[in-house]
A and B are shown apart, each in its own frame.
Chain A
């Protein structure tokens, strides 16, 4: 799923706040298709990794209880304008995506 990650990274003094919004169904596997009555298969991001200037700073394990179109925000001390932020995810079907942005 290309282009699924939007990153906003903003320097605030001696740190940077990183915010990411990801387009993903985060399907729990508990919902039923209205027409067929079959359960809609689970389809959710299981791992999220964030790198700051190439070094991994955050790794998250997610369950299907993270909302559809998931959002995450955290703060990196010592990050400054121009630094590189890279975010990537893998879901339970093995699908993946990644994106980069610079700290503003």
Chain B
């Protein structure tokens, strides 16, 4: 009985060690603000729920997403979002078929214009989804990007 308990304790210890090593248990983040649930969500809607507490975004043609039709390498896909919508307070970027769709959430002061450019990893062909926040209002558009080689380094 004692021996079994000892082994159980050891195994539990090593499982935790592996999990920490694999980055599955992050050290307590310096920023309480990092929205873990949103970044670990497995669907666009769950990510938006986690991030904004809200999933209803109005489709908008006033959001332009510039991204290649076919990415030359899924690990580094240049994406930029430009919007004419007034009073932009933030832009979020998601790749719908990534295991964890949420890639980034940008929050802007009043002086920052409705534009952001970055480079994202795409595991496979996916919609690149942009969410534009203007105060309480949410708008969205998307662009399909084909990926022939996955971006996560596998």
Chain A interface (Cβ < 8 Å from any Cβ of B): 15, 27-31, 38-39, 41-43, 46-47, 52, 55-68, 70-79, 90, 92-94, 96
Contacts and interface: CB of A to CB of B under 8 A. Distances in A.
Q: What is the predominant secondary structure among interface residues of chain B facing chain A?
A: loop
Contacts of A78: 111
A64 B26 CA distance: 13
Contacts of A79: 111
Given A38-B22, A74-B115, A56 B109 contact: yes
Given A30-B152, A47-B33, A57 B120 contact: no
Contacts of B117: 71-74
A66 B104 CA distance: 7
Contact of B102 (A55, A63, A71, A73): A63
A47 to B, nearest CB: 5
A88 B112 CA distance: 17
A103 to B, nearest CB: 13
10 contacts: A28-B152, A31-B153, A41-B22, A43-B23, A57-B112, A60-B107, A65-B95, A68-B76, A74-B113, A77-B111
A63 to B, nearest CB: 4
B154 A72 contact: no
B119 A70 contact: yes
B27 interface: yes
A78 B153 CA distance: 41
A31 B151 CA distance: 11
Interface in B78-137: 78, 80, 95, 98-100, 102-109, 111-113, 115-122
A39 B104 contact: no
Contact of A70 (B107, B118, B152): B118
B100 A93 contact: no
B29 A46 contact: yes
